């Protein structure tokens, strides 16, 4: 079979929208349970066909820190601990005004509110 294909790079949400519209034939990144509502709508409407697991059932959105940071700060157990100055300083950058800076959450992820400072330690 000699078929011409092309690769389109993009973020999770735009690729999923393209999949639903028929502009994209396959996407390798569907974040369930974060996208459960729209995913279930798309499956029910026949716009998408599930062909494999997205993530294991026990997956959860989370922040990760290096083991050496945890070993040096054994009481640092939660993003909520960043309200404490001693932990906030570990993740501050030169232009962050002493506030902790977190990386990794894209729009739509459950941890986005925390990353943007709307939930943990950024107002202090």
Q: What are the structural domain ranges in the chain?
A: 1-58, 67-115
105, 65 in Cβ contact below 8 A? no
Give, for all 124 residues of the chain, the pLDDT tens digit: 687 888 888 888 899 999 999 998 888 878 777 788 999 999 999 999 888 766 666 555 566 788 888 999 999 988 788 888 888 888 888 888 888 777 766 666 666 665 565 444 444 4
Q: Tell me, yes or no, if the pTM score tops 0.85.
A: no
């Amino acid at each position: 079979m000699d078929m011409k294909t092309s690769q389109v790079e993009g973020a999770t949400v735009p690729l999923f929208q393209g999949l639903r519209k028929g502009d994209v034939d396959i996407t390798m990144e569907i974040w369930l349970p974060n996208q459960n509502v729209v995913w279930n709508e798309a499956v029910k409407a026949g716009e998408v066909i599930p062909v494999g697991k997205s993530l294991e059932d026990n997956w959860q959105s989370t922040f990760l820190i290096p083991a050496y940071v945890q070993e040096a700060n054994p009481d640092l157990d939660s993003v909520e601990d960043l309200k404490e100055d001693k932990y906030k300083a570990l993740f501050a950058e030169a232009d962050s005004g002493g506030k902790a800076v977190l990386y990794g959450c894209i729009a739509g992820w459950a941890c986005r509110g925390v990353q943007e400072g709307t939930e943990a330690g950024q107002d202090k």
